[in-house]
Amino acid sequence: MTGMAGTATTTRLLTGKRVLITGAGAGVGAGIAAACAAAGAEAIVTSRHDNGRRVAEQIIAAGGRARWMRCDVTRRADLAAAVAEAGPLDGFVHNAVSTLSSIPGRLEHLDDDTWEHHAAVSLHGTFACAQESQQALQATGGVFIVMTSPSGMEGSAGLPAYSVMKGAQRGFVKALAREWAPKVRVVAVSPLARTPAMDNLFAVDATARQRVTERIPLQRVGDPAEDIGRPVAFLCSDAASYITGQTIVVDGGRFLNL
Amino acid sequence: MPRTIVTSFPGGFGQSLAAALQTVHGDCASVVTSAAQSRADLARAFAEVPEATTLVHAHIDPQMLVSEPLDSMTDDAWDARGELHLRHALHCIQAAFDAFGVDQSDPDRSRRLIAITPTIALLGAGGLVPASSAFEGVRSLIKSAARQWGAFRYTANCVAPPVEMIGAGTGAGMTPRPAAAALVPFDDAAVAVAEVITALLGPAGTRITGQTIIVDRGVVMR
């Protein structure tokens, strides 16, 4: 049965809760927002651009609760304002990444400017998100979630800067989980999800979909809301209250060696 | 055995490791580096060690291992305790790539990269969030180098001693150590790590890349 925003009806695990998601204007972030709203939460959709507003409007049109706030995670003032305006938080999901994340590159050619672009969102940005959300999460005994990547565990043959950032985020999660315990949980999620770039590739290359999906035991690339958003919603719920410090891999079985 | 450069912080573990490597494996040069150095500066320093084909990145600033909770940490402290050192690791391996080159004509002259990444990278450590992040980022860096530079005959691995072995204290916020049997006793951390590095630099190491070898007497088992 289909419920709001195209998602299957979800047990209302997040009734009465509030979850803020960064980078929620599209892709996985939008999917997480939709899934959390479908689970009963108020989704605080944050994004640098206006596309987040449309995500919030779609959630509301489908019967859910959502608010949009403009937020650039590289700006402290934006983060502080978003957290203050949101109110008590049960979940903070740091999903935003650098706009350079999907641009392939060579390690020997990685320059300081590109590095800093990634680091501002994924290293310093994670630090800032954690600091700004800590009090709000402590008040509810909530969860801080960082969206990482298989490349953070396996390294990457094509995206070395992205891989380093995603690896560092895992270290961050493990350490902060120890520091914030027992009041606040800290978890990483490593998704394999459809992206606009992947959809474009599948549209122009008829064999690409098969090449990608045949390596996935569940034979599909994850849908941002159904496949990625719902596990994140679970992690924000009381049902996940004994999970902290872990990296939850949501990838259809693609990376079983992790 | 290949000629080896060991990067180190002044007076830090890297210098002890270089001395131990000189004893165990020979032909090793200690190069004191700074997180403020550019890639070009580092490449020039490495090029002054002729015939080097191996880098052991053992620069660990003691500032990284000062325990501080995240909620009171300034942006400068975050940088000083973690982010700058992750970037320094990137610059060091890039400089090694610049200095060692990509000569594929001699199959016996493979290039080796080894990074010392304490086990807090794998475990996390309360009070050491920036350092835990940086060291885990270095592990991803090494894996990416292993994938991208393998065709150039580079191997890249990490060696992971427990952080207590390299000079950190056990102040408030440090990770509680899990109880485990000591499989093999050792007294000198630098020698223990040097022996593992020597094995990686020998023929046995030519097919090992992208890995993290944990040297902690069996406390962390993966």
Supply the ipTM of this predicted assembly.
Answer: 0.91
Tell me how close the Cα of B147 comes to any Cα of chain A, in angstroms: 5
Q: Which of A40, A17, A21 is nearest to A30 (CA)?
A: A21
Whole-number Cα distances in Å, A165 to A53, A146, A160, B70: 28, 12, 9, 19
Does residue A97 surpass a pLDDT of 90?
yes
d(CA B147, CA B156) in angstroms, rounded, equals: 9
Nearest CB to B140 within list A110, A152, A245? A152
| Residue bearing the bigger pLDDT, B114 or B202 | B114
Q: Note whether A175 contacts B128, CB cutoff 8 Å.
A: yes
d(CA B89, CA B73) in angstroms, rounded, equals: 23
Residue bearing tokens 């959390």: A36
pLDDT-above-90 percentage for chain A:
85
Q: Which of B153, B77, B74, B159 is nearest to B109 (CA)?
A: B153
Does residue B216 surpass a pLDDT of 60?
yes
Q: Which of A129-138, B31-40, B164-173 has the highest mean pLDDT?
A: A129-138
Residue bearing tokens 């994140």: A232
Tell me how close the Cα of B23 comes to any Cα of chain A, in angstroms: 32
Residue A212, token pair as written in the block: 């990608």
Structure confidence at residue A10 (pLDDT)? 52
Residue B89, token pair as written in the block: 């690791």
d(CA B182, CA B141) in angstroms, rounded, equals: 30
DSSP codes of every residue in A127-193:
HHHHHHHHHHHHHHT-EEEEE--THHHH--SS-HHHHHHHHHHHHHHHHHHHHHTTTSEEEEEEE-B
Does residue A6 surpass a pLDDT of 50?
no
Does residue A43 surpass a pLDDT of 60?
yes
Could you tell me which residues are beta bridge partners of residue A93? A21, A145
Structure confidence at residue B170 (pLDDT)? 44
Structure confidence at residue A188 (pLDDT)? 98
Does residue B173 surpass a pLDDT of 50?
no
Does residue A218 surpass a pLDDT of 50?
yes
Does residue A257 surpass a pLDDT of 60?
yes
If pLDDT is split at 50, 70 and 90, which confidence band does B175 have?
very low
Structure confidence at residue A11 (pLDDT)? 67
Q: Flag whether residue A117 sits within 8 Å of chain B, measured between CB atoms.
A: no
Least confident of A92-96, A236-240, B108-112, B168-172: B168-172
What's the rounded mean pLDDT across residues A55-64?
98
Instruction: Tell me the per-residue pLDDT of B99-154, one tens digit each, with 9 for 90 and over.
Output: 998 876 776 678 999 999 999 999 999 999 999 999 999 999 999 999 999 999 99
Instruction: Tell me the per-residue pLDDT of A16-40, one tens digit each, with 9 for 90 and over.
Output: 999 999 999 999 999 999 999 999 9
Residue A126, token pair as written in the block: 């994670």
**Spatial contact of A28 and A102, defined as CB atoms under 8 Å apart:** no
What's the rounded mean pLDDT across residues A90-94?
98
What's the rounded mean pLDDT across residues A55-75?
98
Provide the pairing of β-strand B52-57 with B111-116.
parallel
Does residue A65 surpass a pLDDT of 80?
yes
Query: Sign of the CA dihedral A215, A217, A223, A229?
Result: negative
Q: Flag whether residue A105 sits within 8 Å of chain B, measured between CB atoms.
A: no
- Axis crossing angle, helix A124-140 with helix A160-180, rounded to the nearest 10: 30
Structure confidence at residue B107 (pLDDT)? 65
The mean predicted confidence, pLDDT, of chain A is 93
Q: Flag whether residue A178 sits within 8 Å of chain B, measured between CB atoms.
A: yes
DSSP codes of every residue in A177-220:
HHHHTTTSEEEEEEE-B--HHHHHHHHH-TTHHHHHHTTSTTSS
User: Counting one residue from A and one from B, how many pairs have CB atoms under 8 Å apart?
Assistant: 138
Does residue A119 surpass a pLDDT of 70?
yes
Residues 6 or more apart whose CB falls under 8 angstroms from that of B108 comprise none
Structure confidence at residue B184 (pLDDT)? 56
Nearest CB to B136 within list A115, A154, A167? A167
Nearest CB to A130 within list B70, B75, B145? B70
Residue of A nearest to B222 (CA): A258
